[in-house]
Amino acid sequence: MKQGLKTLLYSSIGFRLIKLLKFVYTPPIKYAKKLRFKGVFNVKTEKGNSFKLYNNAFLLETHIFWLGIDNYQWENKTREIWCDLSTKSNTIADVGANVGIFSVLAKANNPNAQVIAFEPQPNIFEILKKNNAISNTSGSVPFFNHGPNTFSDNNTTSGSLNKTWRPIDQNSIYVEAITLESYINTNNIEAIDLLKIDVETLEYEVLLGYGSFLLKHEPIIILEIQSKEIGSNIDSLLTIDLYLYYSIDESQGLVKIDVLGTGEDNNYLLCPKSKIHLINSLIC
């Protein structure tokens, strides 16, 4: 019975039924989140931007479908800051893009920007294409995630090149990795203005692989930092006179800090002093 219902919802007929239901009635989220589907739907933001998003019966996209992207309580301030900075950037890189929601938001807010998205997990990358891994080394490397069927049907946001990260019920595959430095050289990227990194504890390695371009480009960086140790490693790559550090408080905004990895939430913004004018309106 349960499998039959899932088969129906994942079909084109099921998707049409889902859209019809939403047109006349939105069930409570505890029920709506179970009504997952496969198909493309339109997303509208409060600022009037719109874009299409493909849902492969994943939870995040299902929430966005039923609640709307501005009403879903998920990294609200991070998304707001990202969208604001996207309008001020020419080249944007999203490392650990998952299905590409941040990438699509950047393009929706700034259609003229060049947006480069990287996602190593194959089944997630296929969804990203409908809407490559980055490390400090190049070549074939093991990529880890947890849970049943996570490399085929399911989606989690905890995939990592770090084997020690969430090891329970862990599985792995091999993926091709490249450094940002190599990608920039190969594709003649003049400069990255805005960089997001969410790679489940390997943020330092991504920045290490940025090489000499890190201080040359001086990008504004939004990234996740899971511990003070990771924060200290990242700090070692930056010049103290060059960057300012902010914790992203998901209820307030940017809060100035001196030590990375000490914020209330795990998301941070690193801003070159030369670009402080771009974030002044976002600081608490």
Q: For the chain, what are the domain ranges?
A: 2-67, 76-282
C-alpha triplet 6, 11, 15: angle, nearest 5°: 95
For the chain, percent of residues with pLDDT exceeding 70 = 78
Provide the pLDDT for residue 180.
95
Quote the pTM value: 0.84
pLDDT, tens only, 203-219:
999 999 999 999 999 99
Residue 108: how many CB atoms within 10 A of its CB? 20
Provide the pLDDT for residue 47.
84
Tell me the CATH class for 76-282: alpha beta
Is 132 a residue whose pLDDT tops 50? no
Mean pLDDT of 155-161: 53
* Contact partners, residue 168, CB within 8 Å, separation at least 6: 146
For the chain, percent of residues with pLDDT exceeding 90 = 52
Burial per residue of 173-204, b for 16 or more beta-carbon CB atoms within 10 angstroms, e otherwise: eebebbbbbebbeeeebeebbbbbbbbbbbbb
Provide the pLDDT for residue 166.
61
